Structure 1
């Protein structure tokens, strides 16, 4: 297995080298209102500078090329050029990053991993593996995390553990979104788009001064689009079918009237407002509020495995979201809708106490509700029935304090503290009659989950010489979770019926599972500037993903014994940041090796927890992950910008508990995909007084992704999700003043059919599995006016 991985990496290295011989990444325009800390090693001589974006990854403003961290930074101009308007799209160009909308079983959630470490289960009992931040406010769950990039200044993606550098521990890395701040300049923008399947998008924003030192900014977005997967009524499309399933709509065979709905649609609205007050040059106070609402059909998914009669086609499904009468319930629909609404408010204070001390306070509150139904067997067959109704309520409060101090000309210190408190109530109506054939197992859960985290942290930066910088960081975290299990029948009584009694679900009602833990993380880094064009760094750091409790027990012992500790990583990294040819070419490289321990994995054998069926999560494995990443930026001549990135990952489980079963085995890869690369190019054609035209082309490749051995009984081919490459194109016209633009874009230009993820958790019971389908080729035209 190891030699196989080395062979893959050797071929990928050759591929990556060939790609980089032809590609490099685009220049980033710094916002005119953004202050910049000038590096003493890179004098500001007025020459052309690509990549001058300023980042705050180390709690202070630094140029991207002066920051000794593997970090991808993208500004608003590049996001627009790439036709990217949500956070998922950004990951296509960031090395070693996976961000993807989860399937219908997981509600409105976003799975995330960096360098193979992350989390894809939405349940609030489990911690995200990648920290998500909006304006430095930690977003604590996967649910609702597919943020629209509304009125954004920049995105920072920090790769590797960020245990000492962010508000909350982030084992895989951190993704930070920074919105444009209100300022004294009166300005506005409006944008309208129309495209494939009646795609309609409206965006607008306004910045204005209320007084000489009080400013406001407000922006909004609405987008809607029909889905791309037909949900077809099986009885209508297949009259006289062998299963005897009657139609619920239409009666004319396979006509269009048999299409009940379109899955994978969009219907989203968002609003953001900020007020900023600068009473003196030393005080900057800001309040930010946002609201978002989405009411759309479930994710675009189709049958992967199951009865041949129920294979509807590449963009078609017979899934019905219907559960026939059984047990205590009559027949009912679980709903193919996914509804999310949420809002948040945060207060930000930056106060310069004196020339050496800067105090930062961030106070935030957020709440949301997500309702969705699931058809877990994804067929219309009442004999296989599996599904449920879900309703997740959530609120979160956090407070962070940081003190930045310049101790001397050669020493800087940051110390701080973080506190968060979150509450969830997860209501679910589950029909799992597939577990015991002929016995309808049904229950209602209405589980409160409480979690809080406290941390103290510090980072010391020393510059013993002009070229050498030493950084040390330390963080102590203490965390608590408790999960109370509510198990009732559909009438909300305590008698769960014979099926639940056989499994032991009736004994779960009222039980509480508790986890308490603490952890110390650290970081040591050294960087050396060999010249104004070359910065090298080495880092050793640790991180962890918090422990928790088993959220889906079948037996009381699963709950009382099913708490688990944190998973941890020790990361060794070396990197190089360079600029060449008067800094028109920028090359950033990083190599890393991770010792990954106590990995949180689902078990298939619960003998040690009282018996099966089993959904216990435990610290059940150790592993290693290693890799190489590269990013380039170039503007060989004025107006011609090229971008490229590559990541090559190798990994293996070095130990695995037998209780995990066959889904993951010793030597299996942990991190996927092993090969990932992107490239983009644009050229601004100057038309003089008539304006300019800018064509752009982007490609992004994701190698095959390991999914485990759950479907080996069918074929070894199902161990992996197949690799795919996508191409996008955009043509933009701007007038001479560059305040009016028209754009035509095409995404998935070659209409590639691909499957980004799948759901096969019930295959052992139902012999069915289903998969998400990527969006087919789409076009959009848009007009934007800046005022």
Structure 2
């Protein structure tokens, strides 16, 4: 058997002592399975994961996990976390449109979160080197110098640092070692795509090592922002040419009236790690990273609106411009999206002897995101709506774990987690559309505080050969408070329409606690077959309504956690002398107290309404399959499939028509992916490997906001994307040249949309996917 061993081992303490434990021994039955199975041919490489705080082979872990190593990430041309999700069953990761800043919506098995506001809790836990990333903003991580990605499906309340109701996505970087190495990669492609990556591992002394890596990538956008007044100088819509045009005039096609290319890329990132093996029993590491992005807004086009404002499949007349009204003179909200952030973490692994290990993870992170919005996405001055956003954020966390054993048949983990996070959300909101003939305008500068503390434990008991019983429990306390600052555009405390000024200085508070648990039984029928059954619970934290219009909305608009009880059964197999690896899982989720937006606020003092409440119950069920096969040497096949179903069993009347009884809770109901590659040997000249990938995403339910236009708008259409890659490697396998083509068939698709203001403005817009593009890459390993 070939084994790729990925030990995220223990990293290091930078600034503060802590303690955490990691058991490194695999279960006895797994070791015996290795002894009884001969390694023949070119078998599928085993990935070692740490989902249960101990190193276990993927096929010995009784969880629904998708694990992808660095070799497969490269083969699939995946360089950000959103791309990985396309190959994982029941997973949705979607970079959000321009209205949400630099944020990433995430759900697993239909449970997640898509609102960037820091007052709301993510439904999917994101982790970088075991450090929890607490917000959707900034979460589309570049996969720089990674060792592997683990996607854990289902509630992870007792298995991760923070409660994660839908699941968890964990990124593990390559850590410093005692071997000198380096790599450099350069790419060029469509729309002047330029990408540079490099990294090196440096042994400083016999027990002190450093690793540094960096990336820069830039690419022109694919949606043209055209000035409507310039391109249509004799229009009757009252739209003049913008004064910021780079070129004045029009040639009748709009070419000289282009303002920007939306959906572009301009990103830089840097990561460094310093590791000290202080002794055979003490391993310390400090990790730091920095990222910066300065780009135009997302590539979006008008979906519904006046026909004269529709300029094509990859074109928009949106102008991020608001004419004078109410408190404001004419101004631009800005079509740029700027994000910068950094983080540092300290990791310590300490072997205490007597079978005890201690690990500590201490981390700090902060970022800033600035962006403007054009919510009506139209140049029409009669329906203007938009805003300016500036989000400051910092986060501190501390996690401790102690792993140990009692005799030969019991392993345990005890742990604690604490986090403290602060946000300040500055926004200038210009929602003049909400009351015809009036301009509702205000400035917010809201401090948001949230902290969480938890204690957890897991016991793994092996009562007999081949059988394991796992039990876990977690107790969590949470606190959130949100202080509302509501001033006029001169930042003065003065009357504002809808009594919004009366929110100024008001603080809403949420406090809650919760016990979660997990029980799992697995049995290895043979070295090739492991079966498991699990019952577990999880929750997404409660909070307060972040967008109140009236004081009563804030004072009474707090809500409790939404919860899930999950029942799951699975099968993990290594078949045909480990040439085929097939994993199956089926689950049923009892989903309670779903956090839904209300459309009727009569119980909270009146409309307009943006109150969030525990307003629904439902059930979600599904089947998932993952395949990895190497039927003959050099030929690799991988695939995944998810089939999901769901229904509401209760919806509160105040939700109104925005959610209806026969609506699905989760969509799409069908997702699948498939990939195939074959390495063709060229003797002393190296090898050539062609690869083809296909991913399919079924129709995606998006609600009833556009029902008045057509029932078809309830869903985003299904789409399939095909990618291809051809790679040459030299005989020493330290030099490679690749040609890749993404979206080979140039599929036009819309992965997301924004229709929140349609009822007022009659407009909605959609994010469009990238058209076909190519890239050539050259990589050298040293």
Within a 5 Å distance, the mapping from 1:636-785 to structure 2 comes to 636-785=631-780
Aligned mate of 1:43, from 18, 34, 37: 34
- Name the counterpart of 1:241: 235
CA distance in 2, matches of 1:434, 1:668: 29
Question: Retained in 1: the 8 A contact 2:593–2:614?
Answer: yes
Q: Does 1:94 align with 2:92?
A: no
Q: Tell me the alpha carbon deviations over residues 24-73 of structure 1, each in whole angstroms, 9 at most, x when there is no partner.
A: xxx98445998884723412444454141000000000000000000000
Question: Retained in 2: the 8 A contact 1:434–1:766?
Answer: yes
Q: Does 1:508 align with 2:503?
A: yes
Q: Does 1:570 align with 2:565?
A: yes
CA distance in 1, matches of 2:186, 2:33: 41
Aligned-pair distance for 1:436? 1.1
Name whichever of 236-245 and 485-494 sits farther off: 236-245
Q: Tell me the alpha carbon deviations over residues 178-202 of structure 1, each in whole angstroms, 9 at most, x when there is no partner.
A: 0000000000000000000000000
Q: Tell me the alpha carbon deviations over residues 580-612 of structure 1, each in whole angstroms, 9 at most, x when there is no partner.
A: 111110110000000000000011100000000
- Name the counterpart of 2:576: 581
- Name the counterpart of 2:177: 183
Q: Does 1:518 align with 2:507?
A: no
Aligned-pair distance for 1:254? 2.2
- Name the counterpart of 2:283: 284
Question: Retained in 1: the 8 A contact 2:7–2:55?
Answer: no
- Distance verdict in 2 for CA 1:631–1:492, change over 3 Å: same
Question: Retained in 2: the 8 A contact 1:36–1:63?
Answer: no
- Name the counterpart of 2:18: none
Question: Retained in 1: the 8 A contact 2:125–2:134?
Answer: yes
Aligned mate of 1:57, from 46, 51, 56: 51
CA distance in 2, matches of 1:616, 1:407: 50
- Distance verdict in 2 for CA 1:155–1:766, change over 3 Å: same
TM-score (norm 2): 0.96
CA distance in 2, matches of 1:335, 1:407: 61
- Name the counterpart of 1:341: 340
CA distance in 1, matches of 2:540, 2:105: 15
- Name the counterpart of 1:592: 587
CA distance in 1, matches of 2:179, 2:306: 63
- Name the counterpart of 1:459: 458
Aligned mate of 1:538, from 497, 520, 533: 533
Aligned-pair distance for 1:666? 1.1
Q: Tell me the alpha carbon deviations over residues 412-471 of structure 1, each in whole angstroms, 9 at most, x when there is no partner.
A: 000000000000000000101001111111100000000000000000000001111000
- Name the counterpart of 1:376: 375
Q: Does 1:350 align with 2:313?
A: no
Question: Retained in 1: the 8 A contact 2:8–2:129?
Answer: no
Name whichever of 704-713 and 572-581 sits farther off: 704-713
Equivalent position SS for 1:53: strand
Question: Retained in 2: the 8 A contact 1:236–1:254?
Answer: no
Question: Retained in 2: the 8 A contact 1:28–1:74?
Answer: no
CA distance in 2, matches of 1:339, 1:281: 45
- Distance verdict in 2 for CA 1:202–1:354, change over 3 Å: same
Q: Does 1:556 align with 2:554?
A: no
- Name the counterpart of 2:419: 420
Aligned-pair distance for 1:652? 0.6
Q: Does 1:406 align with 2:408?
A: no
Equivalent position SS for 1:636: coil
Q: Does 1:251 align with 2:249?
A: yes
Within a 5 Å distance, the mapping from 1:259-298 to structure 2 comes to 259-298=258-297
- Name the counterpart of 1:627: 622
Equivalent position SS for 2:164: coil
- Distance verdict in 2 for CA 1:33–1:367, change over 3 Å: closer
Aligned-pair distance for 1:655? 0.6
Question: Retained in 1: the 8 A contact 2:294–2:336?
Answer: yes
CA distance in 1, matches of 2:3, 2:283: 26
Question: Retained in 1: the 8 A contact 2:7–2:48?
Answer: no
Equivalent position SS for 2:464: coil
Equivalent position SS for 1:449: strand
Aligned mate of 1:154, from 125, 130, 148: 148
Q: Does 1:203 align with 2:197?
A: yes
- Name the counterpart of 1:312: 311
CA distance in 2, matches of 1:318, 1:404: 59
CA distance in 2, matches of 1:121, 1:693: 44
CA distance in 1, matches of 2:67, 2:538: 22
Question: Retained in 2: the 8 A contact 1:103–1:301?
Answer: yes
Question: Retained in 2: the 8 A contact 1:41–1:531?
Answer: no
Equivalent position SS for 1:383: helix
Aligned-pair distance for 1:255? 3.8
CA distance in 2, matches of 1:125, 1:227: 32
CA distance in 2, matches of 1:32, 1:690: 34
Question: Retained in 1: the 8 A contact 2:725–2:740?
Answer: yes
Equivalent position SS for 1:661: helix
Aligned-pair distance for 1:531? 0.5
CA distance in 1, matches of 2:3, 2:46: 6
Aligned mate of 1:172, from 166, 173, 176: 166
Within a 5 Å distance, the mapping from 1:87-166 to structure 2 comes to 87-166=81-160
Equivalent position SS for 1:560: helix
Question: Retained in 2: the 8 A contact 1:540–1:573?
Answer: yes
Aligned mate of 1:611, from 600, 603, 606: 606
Q: Does 1:483 align with 2:482?
A: yes
